[in-house]
């Protein structure tokens, strides 16, 4: 492994392991590795180095750091790893070179093994993933922005630790994990899942009195610190121990009931301005007693919060679907649509089939999938669908199940689907979302700045969450200060990126899916200073032939990159989309074309 960030930053090569000693070089290298194989802008590197006060020489100093890192990597036998690519730099990391990537791969293998009830394999993979950690992520790298990213990595490590402990308990290794759980509960006293695991371990190890004492201790803690009673899981576990029922679900006998998949992502903490659509989703999917499988399709532009709403609704609906919840993002990390056959394989494995039992053909997989969920109350969530063709093979064939779909397009080809379209939030709901993330006091101190920030984010929850996360990582910034940074159109999209959240990257996937004619028109629209334009003006844009304008515009409307105004002959680009179009024009078109536009 060449690069290690799951602990102190280290580089290995030519038989040596090197700790980068120069503070700025550690920050630059860490920032590049967090987004390995992706371009990191110079502005992002400057923010990581100097927070809110980059010097006028920031670009030059970043170049000096990069040059020094290149020399270090060359000495270690790793030349040409840092590549200059506008608007910044990219570090090329091969498979197995970065401990974070290897961690992700092992965790995925462990989760898949668990879905297939291969407990020993799951324990081995998750244990190997956790063994990669050497301490706190990016220990010794001083940067507020990077500390926020490191905190998220540490949180993920803890979640994987909890998954591994669940596997160990199901394997009957209660006594083996009691000590570790005692330490974890002391370190993370408000994590209810750890308390439940501690109680199960003690009870399974033949120590029910200690398990009940652990419950009483947890209850006192929650009442003192939060003013709340423990959650349902802890209370049910206490009752099970009191009645001498088995507190652990593991067994030496193979399970006779089918697996219950629980594939939903974590329930999102922030949801503002979506009470009405959430109520529509719950009403449409909760009472599944009709002759047809209920199907709801959420549509809306990039970053409007379709996935967040779908996941929140799915968690709320989980009690109505006790046989499980299947979830899959149908857009892969590289922005390519996931094939229906691959999606069916994932679902069949989650439903208990081993690899050899999954048929090779699409039709056979679809038939087996429909058979497996027939008569079962399973909720199927299909996120980020690009076309109806992806959805049709994944629809259940019998009542009992429900389907929730999200897409940037209106999926009019899904017969019987109830359409729910999401628009950007208004200013009031945008400010409420910021207040939920940051706390009302910080926004109350600067209401004008909060309103300006909401408008500059176009009411998009994705952009608002990024802005809130940046402010949370920089408590010395005022809201107005970030709004001032966003007013600079040349860097607004650079500002709206943090860790895995990136407005520009989301827009890029929509742009890449366009036809050549629609991409050409979209770029040309980036030359317009106004967000609103009539159809005849679009026909006069350079490089765009009259006969393709209307069809290309309609394609942009379908992709939610352009809105139709009240007057159907006028079209509108939201602010962030217009800035992205201008970037594509500057980067993809010849200079003469851009100037004439």
Q: Is the pLDDT reported for residue 548 higher than 60?
A: yes
Which residue, 209, 109, 225, is CA-closest to 167?
109
- Tokens for 440? 């009302």
Share of residues in the chain with pLDDT > 70 (%): 90
Q: What are phi and psi of 112, to 5 degrees?
A: -70, -40
Whole-number Å distance between alpha carbons of 449 and 453: 6
Long-range CB contact pairs, 371-376, < 8 A, 24+: 372/258, 372/348, 373/323, 373/398, 373/400, 373/401, 374/398, 374/400, 375/400, 376/258, 376/323, 376/324, 376/400, 376/401
Q: Is the pLDDT reported for residue 288 higher than 70?
A: no
Residue 276: the pLDDT is 92
How does strand 88-91 pair with strand 82-85? antiparallel
Share of residues in the chain with pLDDT > 90 (%): 51
Q: Is the pLDDT reported for residue 249 higher than 50?
A: no
Residue 420: the pLDDT is 95
Burial class (CB in 10 A: 0-12, 13-18, 19+), 572: middle
Cβ neighbors of 325 (< 8 A, separation 6 or more) are: 261, 262, 263, 264, 314, 318, 378, 379, 380, 381
> Residue 189 carries which DSSP code?
T
Please provide the DSSP assignment of 303-322 as one string: TSSHHHHHHHHHHHHGGG-T
Whole-number Å distance between alpha carbons of 452 and 571: 24
- Tokens for 134? 């050497």
Beta bridge partners of 546: none
Residue 291 — very low, low, confident or very high, per pLDDT cuts 50/70/90? low
Contact 98, 36 (CB under 8 A): yes
Residue 57: the pLDDT is 93
Q: Is the pLDDT reported for residue 540 higher than 80?
A: no
* E-only strand ranges, 289-407: 295-299, 325-329, 379-385, 402-407
Cβ neighbors of 585 (< 8 A, separation 6 or more) are: 523, 524, 526, 527, 594, 597
The label of the residue with tokens 């980059």 reads 54
Whole-number Å distance between alpha carbons of 457 and 479: 13
Q: Return the HEC string of 408-420.
A: CCCCCCCCCCEEE
Each residue's pLDDT tens digit, 198-223: 999 998 888 888 999 999 999 999 89
pLDDT (average), residues 149-154: 90
- Tokens for 82? 């840092």
Each residue's pLDDT tens digit, 418-446: 999 999 999 999 999 999 888 888 888 88
Q: In whole angstroms, how far apart are CA 553 and each of 420, 496, 523, 550, 563? A: 23, 27, 12, 5, 10
Contact 485, 495 (CB under 8 A): yes
Other Cβ atoms closer than 10 A to 305: 28
Q: Is the pLDDT reported for residue 27 higher than 90?
A: yes
Whole-number Å distance between alpha carbons of 181 and 170: 15
The label of the residue with tokens 């947890």 reads 218
Whole-number Å distance between alpha carbons of 468 and 449: 13
- Give the length of the chain: 597
Beta bridge partners of 98: 3
Q: Is the pLDDT reported for residue 72 higher than 50?
A: yes
Residue 355: the pLDDT is 63
- Tokens for 500? 């895995």
- Tokens for 49? 């180095």
End-to-end CA separation in angstroms for the chain: 49
pLDDT (average), residues 476-486: 93
Please provide the DSSP assignment of 457-470 as one string: TTT-HHHHHHHHHH
Residue 289: the pLDDT is 56
Pick the range with the lowest mean pLDDT from 45-54, 484-493, 523-532.
Answer: 523-532
Other Cβ atoms closer than 10 A to 112: 17
Cα angle at 541 between 540 and 547, to 5 degrees? 65
- Per the prediction, the chain carries an average pLDDT of 87
pLDDT (average), residues 248-259: 50
pLDDT (average), residues 39-68: 91
The rounded Cα 207 to chain-centroid distance in angstroms is 40
Other Cβ atoms closer than 10 A to 261: 20
Please provide the DSSP assignment of 190-234 as one string: T-HHHHHHHHHHHHHTT-HHHHHHHHHHHHHHHHHHHS----HHH
Helix (H, G, I), strand (E, B) or coil at 396: coil
Residue 481: the pLDDT is 93
Whole-number Å distance between alpha carbons of 99 and 87: 26
Q: What are phi and psi of 152, to 5 degrees?
A: -65, -40
Each residue's pLDDT tens digit, 108-140: 999 888 888 888 999 999 999 999 999 999 998
Which residue, 543, 526, 547, is CA-closest to 592?
543
- Tokens for 247? 């507190």
Whole-number Å distance between alpha carbons of 192 and 403: 30
pLDDT (average), residues 403-428: 92
Residue 589 — very low, low, confident or very high, per pLDDT cuts 50/70/90? low
pLDDT (average), residues 318-323: 88
Residue 596 — very low, low, confident or very high, per pLDDT cuts 50/70/90? very low
pTM value surpassing 0.85? no
Residue 256 — very low, low, confident or very high, per pLDDT cuts 50/70/90? very low
For 180-207, b/e burial (b = at least 16 CB within 10 A) is bbeebbeeeeeeebbbbbbbbbbbbbeb
More confident residue, 573 or 63: 63
Q: Is the pLDDT reported for residue 308 higher than 70?
A: yes
Residue 383 — very low, low, confident or very high, per pLDDT cuts 50/70/90? very high
Integer Rg of the chain from CA: 26
Residue 311 — very low, low, confident or very high, per pLDDT cuts 50/70/90? very high
Contact 269, 304 (CB under 8 A): no
Pick the range with the lowest mean pLDDT from 161-175, 343-357, 498-512.
Answer: 343-357
The rounded Cα 385 to chain-centroid distance in angstroms is 15
pLDDT (average), residues 8-30: 90
């Amino acid at each position: 492994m060449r690069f290690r960030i799951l602990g102190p930053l280290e580089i290995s090569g030519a038989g040596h392991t090197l700790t980068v000693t120069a503070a700025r070089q550690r920050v630059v290298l860490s920032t590049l590795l967090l987004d390995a194989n992706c371009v990191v802008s110079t502005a992002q590197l400057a923010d990581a180095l100097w927070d809110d006060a980059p010097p006028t020489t920031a670009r030059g100093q970043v170049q000096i750091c990069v040059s020094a890192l290149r020399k270090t990597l060359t000495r270690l036998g790793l030349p040409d790893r840092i590549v200059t690519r506008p608007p910044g730099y990219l570090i090329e990391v091969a498979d197995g070179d970065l401990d974070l990537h290897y961690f992700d791969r092992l965790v995925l293998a462990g989760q898949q093994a668990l879905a297939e009830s291969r407990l020993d394999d799951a324990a081995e993979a998750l244990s190997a993933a956790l063994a990669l950690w050497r301490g706190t992520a990016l220990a010794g790298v001083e940067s507020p922005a990077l500390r926020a990213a490191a905190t998220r990595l540490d949180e993920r490590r803890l979640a994987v630790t909890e998954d591994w402990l669940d596997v160990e308990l199901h394997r009957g290794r209660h006594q083996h994990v009691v000590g570790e759980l005692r330490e974890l509960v002391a370190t993370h006293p408000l994590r209810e899942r750890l308390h439940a695991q501690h109680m199960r371990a003690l009870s399974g190890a033949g120590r029910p009195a200690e398990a009940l004492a652990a419950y009483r201790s947890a209850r006192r803690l929650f009442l003192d610190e939060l003013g709340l009673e423990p959650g349902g899981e802890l209370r049910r576990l206490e009752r099970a121990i009191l009645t001498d029922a088995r507190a652990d679900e593991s067994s030496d006998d193979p399970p006779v009931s089918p697996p219950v998949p629980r594939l939903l992502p974590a329930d999102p903490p922030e949801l503002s301005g979506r009470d009405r659509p959430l109520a529509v989703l719950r009403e449409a999917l909760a009472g599944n007693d009709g002759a047809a499988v209920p199907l709801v399709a959420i549509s809306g532009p990039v970053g409007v919060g379709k996935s967040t709403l779908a996941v929140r609704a799915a968690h709320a609906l989980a009690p109505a679907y006790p046989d499980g919840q299947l979830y899959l993002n149908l857009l892969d990390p590289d922005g390519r649509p996931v094939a229906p056959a691959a999606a069916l394989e994932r679902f069949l494995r989650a439903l208990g089939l081993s690899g050899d039992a999954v048929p090779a053909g699409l039709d056979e997989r679809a038939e087996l999938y429909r058979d497996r969920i027939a008569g079962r109350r399973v909720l199927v969530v299909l996120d980020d669908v690009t076309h109806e063709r992806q959805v049709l093979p994944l629809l259940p064939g019998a009542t009992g199940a429900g389907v929730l779909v999200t897409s940037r397009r209106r999926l009019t080809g899904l017969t019987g689907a109830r359409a729910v379209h999401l628009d950007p939030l208004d200013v009031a709901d945008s400010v409420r979302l910021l207040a939920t993330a940051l706390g009302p006091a910080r926004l109350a101190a600067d209401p004008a700045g909060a309103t300006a920030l909401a408008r500059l984010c176009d009411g998009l929850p994705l952009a608002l969450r990024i802005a809130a996360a940046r402010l949370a990582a920089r408590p010395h910034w005022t809201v107005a200060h970030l709004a001032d940074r966003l007013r600079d159109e040349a860097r607004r999209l650079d500002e709206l990126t943090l860790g895995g959240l990136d407005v520009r990257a989301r827009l890029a996937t929509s742009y890449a899916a366009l036809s050549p004619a629609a991409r050409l028109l979209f770029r040309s629209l980036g030359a317009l200073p106004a967000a609103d334009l009539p159809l005849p003006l679009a026909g006069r844009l350079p490089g765009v032939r009259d006969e393709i304008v209307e069809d290309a515009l309609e394609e942009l409307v379908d992709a939610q990159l352009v809105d139709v105004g009240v007057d159907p002959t006028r079209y509108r680009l939201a602010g962030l989309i217009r800035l992205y179009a201008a970037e594509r024009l500057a980067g993809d078109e010849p200079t003469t074309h851009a100037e004439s536009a």
